[in-house]
Structure 1
Amino acid sequence: MLPISKSAFPTFPPFPDDFATHPLVIVDYELIKAGDKDEIEQLWKAATELGFWYLKNHGVEQEANNMFDMGRETMDLPLEEKMKYEQGDGGSSFGYKARGQVATDAMGTRDNIEFINVAKDDALAWPKQAHRSYPRTVNARMESTVVPFVRKSMEVNATLLDVFNEKLGLPEGALAKRHSVEEFSGSEARCTKSPPTPTETRLGIGAHTDFGSLSFLHNRLGGLQVLPPNSETWQYIKPIPGYAICNLGDAMAIFSGGILRSNIHRVCPPPGAQKHWERWSLVYFTRPGNSVNLHALVEESPLIADYVAKHPEGIHETGATSLEWFTRRIKNQRISNRKGPETWMASRGTEIRV
Structure 2
Amino acid sequence: MSSVEEIDKKYNVRPFIEAQPSKEDFEVIELESIDLSLFKEGPEYLEQRQELADKLEQSLSTYGFFSLVNHGIEQAEFEKLRSIAQSLLELPEDVKRQYLAGALTSDAEDRSVSLGAERGAGFKPRGYWSMKNGVTDSIEHYNFRDLQQQDLFDENRPYPEIARAHLPEVAKYFRYLHSTVLRKLTILCDIILQLPEGFLWENYFKVITGDKLNSGSGFGRFMLYHAMKRDDEEKVDKTWLRGHSDGGAFTFITSQPILSLQIRDYNTGEWKYVGHTPGGLIVNIGDALEFITGGYFKSSMHRVVSPPDDQRQFKRLVLIYFCDPKLTSIIDPEPLNSPKLKSLGYNKPKEWEKITFQQWDEEKGRLFGKKDVNDSKGDDPNLVLLYGRKAEGPFSLEDAKRKSNSIKV
**TM over 0.5: same fold?**
yes
Partner letter of residue 391 of structure 2? G
Shift of residue 188, structure 1, vs aligned partner: 0.8
Which residue in 2 is equivalent to 1:349? 391
Which residue in 1 is equivalent to 2:68? 55
RMSD over aligned CA atoms reads 3.2
Which residue in 1 is equivalent to 2:356? 321
One of 218, 227, 249 as aligned partner of 2:254:
218
Which residue in 1 is equivalent to 2:184? 159
One of 31, 38, 49 as aligned partner of 1:24:
31
CA distance in 2, matches of 1:175, 1:139: 33
CA distance in 2, matches of 1:198, 1:273: 17
Which residue in 1 is equivalent to 2:328? 291
SS of 2:289's equivalent? helix
Which stretch shows the higher mean deviation, 223-232 or 61-70? 61-70
Q: Is the 8 A contact 1:33 1:159 kept in 2?
A: no
Pairs aligned (count) = 349
Q: For each residue in 1:8-45, what CA deviation from the matched residue of structure 2 results, as whole angstroms up to 9, or x when unmatched?
A: 12242213341121221111010134652333321121
Which residue in 1 is equivalent to 2:99? 85
Which stretch shows the higher mean deviation, 264-273 or 12-21? 12-21
One of 174, 178, 188 as aligned partner of 1:150:
174
SS of 1:137's equivalent? helix
Q: Is the 8 A contact 2:251 2:322 kept in 1?
A: yes
The reply on whether 1:74 has 2:88 as its aligned counterpart is: yes
One of 214, 219, 239 as aligned partner of 1:188:
219
Shift of residue 340, structure 1, vs aligned partner: 7.6
SS of 1:204's equivalent? strand
Q: Is the 8 A contact 1:257 1:308 kept in 2?
A: no
1:336 and 1:24, CA in 2 relative to 1: closer, same or farther beyond 3 A? closer
Partner letter of residue 332 of structure 1? L
CA distance in 2, matches of 1:346, 1:336: 16
Which residue in 1 is equivalent to 2:140? 114
CA distance in 1, matches of 2:184, 2:353: 26
Which stretch shows the higher mean deviation, 198-207 or 321-330? 198-207
1:218 and 1:315, CA in 2 relative to 1: closer, same or farther beyond 3 A? farther
Q: For each residue in 1:28-68, what CA deviation from the matched residue of structure 2 results, as whole angstroms up to 9, or x when unmatched?
A: 01013465233332112111121111111112233332221
SS of 1:188's equivalent? strand
Q: Is the 8 A contact 1:112 1:194 kept in 2?
A: yes
Q: Is the 8 A contact 2:130 2:371 kept in 1?
A: no
CA distance in 2, matches of 1:293, 1:52: 23
Shift of residue 85, structure 1, vs aligned partner: 2.2
1:345 and 1:129, CA in 2 relative to 1: closer, same or farther beyond 3 A? farther
CA distance in 2, matches of 1:72, 1:215: 21
One of 286, 295, 303 as aligned partner of 1:258:
295
Q: For each residue in 1:250-294, what CA deviation from the matched residue of structure 2 results, as whole angstroms up to 9, or x when unmatched?
A: 111111111211111111222231122211111111111122221
Query: Structure 1: which 5+ runs fail to align?
Result: none
Partner letter of residue 205 of structure 1? L
Partner letter of residue 32 of structure 1? F
Shift of residue 205, structure 1, vs aligned partner: 2.1
CA distance in 1, matches of 2:395, 2:24: 33
Q: Is the 8 A contact 1:103 1:333 kept in 2?
A: no
Shift of residue 108, structure 1, vs aligned partner: 6.6
Shift of residue 232, structure 1, vs aligned partner: 3.4
1:54 and 1:198, CA in 2 relative to 1: closer, same or farther beyond 3 A? farther
SS of 2:37's equivalent? helix
One of 88, 97, 116 as aligned partner of 2:124:
97
1:33 and 1:247, CA in 2 relative to 1: closer, same or farther beyond 3 A? farther
Q: Is the 8 A contact 1:122 1:128 kept in 2?
A: no
CA distance in 1, matches of 2:370, 2:155: 28
Q: Is the 8 A contact 1:21 1:235 kept in 2?
A: yes
Query: Structure 2: which 5+ runs fail to align?
Result: 103-108, 397-409
Matches within 5 A, 1:117-132: 117-121=143-147, 124-128=150-154
CA distance in 2, matches of 1:45, 1:263: 14
Q: Is the 8 A contact 1:257 1:316 kept in 2?
A: no
Which residue in 1 is equivalent to 2:16? 9
One of 250, 267, 274 as aligned partner of 1:237:
274
TM-score (norm 2): 0.75
